Amino acid sequence: MSAPLVLVTGGGGFLGRAIVDRCLARGWRVRATGRTPQPGLVAGGVEFAAGDIADPAHAREVVRGCAAVFHVAAKAGVWGPRAEYFRSNVLGTRAIAEACVEAGVPDLVHTSTPSVVHTGAPHAGADESLPLGEDFPCAYAETKAVAEDLALSIHRAGTRVCALRPHLIWGPGDPHILPRLLARARAGRLAIVGDGLNRVDVTHVDTAADAHLGALDALRAGRANGRAYFLSQGEPVRLWEFINRFLRRAGAPEVRRRVPLGVAWAAGAALEATWAALRLSGEPPMTRFVATQLGTDHWFDVGAARRDLGLRPAVDTWEALDRVAASFRDR
């Protein structure tokens, strides 16, 4: 019997590559898709199909013959045209989900985000009973909420599905969060928002990838179908302690300057209006969404993921952070 074929959308991305590696380690055949060619994946034995997942024809093509799909691809970030977020996150998810049902794919694991429950209010230990948010301050959170709802809706149509909400993914090779923090700190453009004591969840990329494979195992075992799960290292950290430890060990100045949360939020609102009115390039230096992310508690109860998916941290958070910081220092 030939090895099963699995699809990883966004397989060339940070989390996607980690999932691809785990699928290959299980002896599965892997197909990946994305807009940009990935010669490194192909060299590793992955079948790569370049294309736009929001195109239903491409979605049908890439899911054909698959025993499972990991839908990781998304447009992330806090600023940009809503139409781009809608196409990638909503239309892309709809096309993949509908293609799975049409092709009879048994299992779909959808990568979501805790931002789908964002309201601007702090979250401290909340679980999956939280409703999806409303009146989102950025297109990313809004479209990912719609996408999660779309993905989960197909569990009644024959394809088993669950949605995973990893919070602040980081680790070796991180192209997003840690390099951005480092660049802003070195440029003197980073400030502690609020009292600096807020706690947040963080998720090492290996923990997140392991949980995606655990989710597929759970679906096949009759658990998790139709459900969403928060993911993290399982122990919230004080955000600014985490950031300053990383910066210090990466050889960058720690953040000392402070800005009240209300001031940061108001500045974000004003800057968003200015950027939109003048159609300025790039993203504003502060937004309402970023202000609340930097200045409030947002950590979640991951008990359901521990129980159903076997979630556990793949590494010790602080030891792994020190290793990643050292890799930045040594570059």
Alpha helices in the chain (DSSP H): 14-25, 39-43, 56-63, 82-85, 92-103, 139-153, 177-186, 205-220, 239-249, 261-278, 288-295, 303-309, 317-329
pLDDT tens per residue across span 176-197 = 899 999 999 999 999 999 999 9
Whether 331 shows a pLDDT value over 90: the answer reads: no
Residue partners of 198: CB distance under 8 A and separation at least 6: 122, 238, 239, 240, 295, 296, 297, 298
Q: Where are the domains of the chain?
A: 5-177+201-236+298-315
Residue partners of 178: CB distance under 8 A and separation at least 6: 170, 246, 324, 328
pTM of the model: 0.96
Residue partners of 298: CB distance under 8 A and separation at least 6: 114, 122, 123, 124, 167, 198, 200, 201
Mean pLDDT of 152-166: 94
Whether 248 shows a pLDDT value over 90: the answer reads: yes
Q: At 246, list the tokens.
A: 């990383």
Tokens 């999660």, residue located? 148
> Quick one: pLDDT at residue 327?
94
Task: Give 289-321 as a 3 state SS string.
Answer: HHHHHHHCCEEECCHHHHHHHCCCCCCCHHHHH
* Residue range 5-177+201-236+298-315 in CATH 3.40.630.30: no
Distances (CA, A) of 82 to 110, 116, 118: 21, 16, 17
Mean pLDDT of 254-278: 94
CB 143 within 8 A of CB 86: yes
**Within a 10 A sphere around the Cβ of 53, how many other Cβ atoms?**
26
85 in catalytic set: no
CB 211 within 8 A of CB 228: no
CB 130 within 8 A of CB 117: yes
Q: What is the DSSP letter of 161?
A: E
> Quick one: pLDDT at residue 37?
86
Average pLDDT, the chain: 95
Compare 331 and 128 and report the one with higher pLDDT.
128
User: Which among 314, 321, 331 is positioned nearest to 172, based on CA atoms?
Assistant: 321
Whether 206 shows a pLDDT value over 80: the answer reads: yes
**Active-site residue identified among 140, 229, 300, 328:** 140
Residue partners of 28: CB distance under 8 A and separation at least 6: 3, 4, 5, 6
> Quick one: pLDDT at residue 155?
86
- At residue 20, what is the residue type? V
